[in-house]
Amino acid sequence: MRAYLAKRFLFGVLTLLVTSLLIFSLLRVVPGGPVDALIGEEWDDPELRAQLRRDLGLDLPFHRQYARWLGGLFRGDLGVSLVLYRGEPVGGIILERFGVTAQLAFISLTIALLVAFPAGIAAALWKERLPDHVFRIVALGGISTPNFFLGIALIVMFGVGLRLKWGVGGYVPFGEDPWGWFLRLLLPAIVLGTDHAATISRMLRASILEALGRNHVLTAKAMGLPRKEFLIQDVLRTAMVPVVTVIGNSAGALLDGAVITEILFRLPGLGSLLVQGVYARDLPLVQSVVIVAVGIRIAVNLIVDLSYALMDPRIRYGRGQ
Amino acid sequence: MVREIHTTEYELGLHQTLLQEFWHNFKKNKLSLVGGFIVLCYAIMAIFAPLLAPYNPVEQFDAPPGMRNPMPPLSRDVDGRLFLLGTDKFGRDILSRALYGTRTLLQLAGGSIAIAMLLGVAMGAVAGYKKGTWVDELIMRTVDIMLSFPTLVLAIALVGAFGIGSLRIGPLVLSNMVKIMLVIAITYSPRFARVMRAVVLQEMAEDYVAAAKVTGASGFRILTREVLVNTIPTIIVQGSLMMATTVLTSASLSFLGLGLQPPRPSLGLMLNEARDYLFWGACCT
């Protein structure tokens, strides 16, 4: 187990390293960049340009620029924002923005799970009956509705139609107004969680149905175990392995949806920061956000893989195989 | 599902060509008929957009006295022209823009998928053929790394790298549309590469490949003439599944203002413009 952990961790770090190199070089392929963004493309003052490039460290050879950034990365220093938040350290900005995204993701995943579990289980137990039919139609709709459309529809309903103050987005810190905080995150969380709820519950339905047909479940049934007991003990536990994979995938993909949702509901999160950074051509900001995003994704994948071992006693890492 | 198994086992001899057999099976499944009909509608909308659209999607019309743009559905402009879905804030016909927007969106998604397939198939085929060598390792680890990016984040990062608008690399100028196709294609190519490698590995174990080897065919020839042909069905299925996600990704990019640029009609951008108006409306009320 320990060897496996070490191996996965090492590969994760390696992936991050290569990603950093990839992103760093990509963002420097196209000429212009931050200097143009700062003083404007039309402004033709070679001296000022040269001065600015020196100040920003953009005149150094490529590998030294990269080494500088990477060195900072290991010390936890992500550099300073060049355009969007002139001179402020990127690390602090990202940390602050990440908090909002994490809250959004947490609420959204909670809602998704709260909806997905009862729905998936009910659909599996009443297979091919009314609850199942309703479930399948709703779930298909949830998967095929684009985030931004659902978001706009909800804003039209709650913000414009019912004229609710929290219906049009915005963000209030939890400390200031807990209820307002929750209300304002509720709609974006629903938007973000809908297709994940649909995917998770569909997987749950399918794997419960599969588990119900397994031998050990039949045995438990034949032994006369109470229905409730074997449903929880045998069926759900077996069914959980593929479901956790899907939940992990969803958690990893939350940031994707967060980009759209945050812009739509004007939440100051990581996703909207990325888009603003791209607009402003703020290189240090963009590359750092991407690195953080990839890092989160890798960590989530690792946690998911480890959780298999907890659920399925047959899965053991690092021995045999 | 059960119905499908019945129909695929259905007496193959009865239907003369593959196409006829396909049509026979297709007709039997109600769900695929409905889906096919919807797809057909969109395809017609996209292909015949210039004929169906009542007005030029970028032309601006003046609202009659007492009204102003954006106008609600079924209103008329100064010269009495009818706008079925109304106009946007610049006085452009929404119906025409939606039709042209569908056209561009499908072009964009189709183009991206085509390029992604080319890239992915090439990567996967080489990796599968050179299985176990450093070439395979290099390609597949790159694929792994690309897959560890959240999709939209990768696409946005690439747009950030190439800049918004058209892309100039030396003498080569890529239009914004081609650039976005490239961005989406790069984002999705690793998925094709994974599938392709698996299929190539499977096919390489077949007897006909061994036969080709015995006759002394070169590696390139085996790969292109023998193996590739047999992987086409899998890749096509993968491609059509991906089409839906690329449509969403390109619409999302436009929605964020990082995709097609105005005044080009694009569905995502239209939604975003409408959203501005929505907030404005909400503030006013």
- HEC readout, chain A: CHHHHHHHHHHHHHHHHHHHHHHHHHCCCCCCCHHHHHHCCCCCCHHHHHHHHHHHCCCCCHHHHHHHHHHHHHCCCCCECCCCCCCCEHHHHHHHHHHHHHHHHHHHHHHHHHHHHHHHHHHHHCCCCHHHHHHHHHHHHHHHCCHHHHHHHHHHHHHHHCCCHHHHCCCCCCCCCHHHHHHHHHHHHHHHHHHHHHHHHHHHHHHHHHHHCCHHHHHHHHCCCCHHHHHHHHHHHHHHHHHHHHHHHHHHHHHHHHHHHHHHCCCCCHHHHHHHHHHHCCHHHHHHHHHHHHHHHHHHHHHHHHHHHHHCCCCCCCCCC
In a domain, A100, yes or no: yes
CATH number, domain of B257, equals 1.10.3720.10
State mean pLDDT over B180-188: 88
B150, A15: Cβ pair inside 8 Å? no
In a domain, A300, yes or no: yes
Q: What is the pLDDT of residue B8?
A: 46
Domain with B271, as residue range(s), is 102-284
State mean pLDDT over B128-149: 84
State mean pLDDT over A36-64: 71
In a domain, B221, yes or no: yes
Q: What is the pLDDT of residue A199?
A: 87
Helix (H, G, I), strand (E, B) or coil at B246: helix
Q: Which residue of A has its CA nearest to B162?
A: A30
Helix (H, G, I), strand (E, B) or coil at B26: helix
Q: Convert the pLDDT of each residue in B6-46 to its tens digit.
A: 444 444 455 566 677 777 777 777 777 777 787 788 778 77
Q: Kindly state whether residues A267 and A215 are assigned to the same domain.
A: yes
Residue A33 pLDDT > 70: no
Domain with A272, as residue range(s), is 90-311
State mean pLDDT over B153-160: 83
From B144's Cα to the closest Cα of chain A, the distance in A is 8
Residue B1 pLDDT > 60: no
In a domain, B128, yes or no: yes
State mean pLDDT over B65-94: 71
Question: Which chain B residues have a beta carbon less than 8 Å from that of A22?
Answer: 145
Q: Which residue of B has its CA nearest to A30?
A: B162
Out of B156, B162, B244, the one facing A30 most closely (by C-beta) is B162
- Band the pLDDT of A36: cuts 50, 70, 90: low
Q: Which residues of A touch B (CB under 8 A)?
A: 15, 18-19, 22-23, 26-27, 29-30, 32, 144, 146-149, 152, 155-156, 159-160, 163, 168, 252-253, 255-257, 259-260, 263-264, 274-275, 277-279, 281, 286, 290, 293-294, 297-298, 301
Q: What is the pLDDT of residue B282?
A: 40
Q: Kindly state whether residues A240 and A129 are assigned to the same domain.
A: yes
From A229's Cα to the closest Cα of chain B, the distance in A is 31
In a domain, A181, yes or no: yes
In a domain, A81, yes or no: no
CATH number, domain of A274, equals 1.10.3720.10
In a domain, B10, yes or no: no
Residue B5 pLDDT > 50: no
Question: Would you give the distance in Å from CA B70 to the centre of its chain?
Answer: 31
From B79's Cα to the closest Cα of chain A, the distance in A is 32
**C-alpha–C-alpha distance, residues A126 and A132, integer Å:** 6
From A228's Cα to the closest Cα of chain B, the distance in A is 30
Final residue of a domain: which of A14, A49, A74?
Answer: A74
A168, B159: Cβ pair inside 8 Å? no
For the ranges A1-10, A79-88, B166-175, B183-192, the maximum mean pLDDT occurs at B183-192
- Band the pLDDT of A18: cuts 50, 70, 90: confident
In a domain, A79, yes or no: no
Question: Would you give the distance in Å from CA A137 to the centre of its chain?
Answer: 26
Q: Give chain B's mean pLDDT.
A: 76
Residue A313 · residue A297 · CB < 8 Å: no
Q: Give chain A's mean pLDDT.
A: 80
Residue A239 pLDDT > 60: yes
Out of A160, A163, A278, the one facing B159 most closely (by C-beta) is A278
Q: Convert the pLDDT of each residue in B193-231 to its tens digit.
A: 988 888 888 888 888 888 888 887 777 777 877 788 888
**C-alpha–C-alpha distance, residues B279 and B256, integer Å:** 16
Residue B284 pLDDT > 80: no
In a domain, A83, yes or no: no
Total domains present in chain B: 1
Interface test with A, best of B31, B38, B152 (most A CBs within 10 A): B152
Total domains present in chain A: 2
Residue B143 pLDDT > 80: yes
Q: Kindly state whether residues A69 and A94 are assigned to the same domain.
A: no
State mean pLDDT over A45-58: 73
Residue B180 pLDDT > 80: yes
Note the pTM of the prediction, 2 decimals: 0.75
- Where would I find the beta strands (DSSP E) of B160-216? 167-169, 172-174
Residue A186 pLDDT > 60: yes
% of chain A at pLDDT higher than 90:
3
Q: Of A32-46, A105-119, A295-309, where does mean pLDDT reach its minimum?
A: A32-46
Interface test with B, best of A273, A288, A290 (most B CBs within 10 A): A290
Q: Of A72-86, A277-291, B70-84, B131-145, where does mean pLDDT reach its minimum?
A: B70-84
Q: Which residue of B has its CA nearest to A151?
A: B275
Q: What is the pLDDT of residue B10?
A: 47
Q: Kindly state whether residues A193 and A304 are assigned to the same domain.
A: yes
Residue A315 pLDDT > 70: no
A160, B278: Cβ pair inside 8 Å? yes
Q: Pull the structure tokens for residue A312.
A: 């399925």
Residue B244 pLDDT > 70: yes
Helix (H, G, I), strand (E, B) or coil at B60: coil
From B225's Cα to the closest Cα of chain A, the distance in A is 34
Question: Would you give the distance in Å from CA A120 to the centre of its chain?
Answer: 23
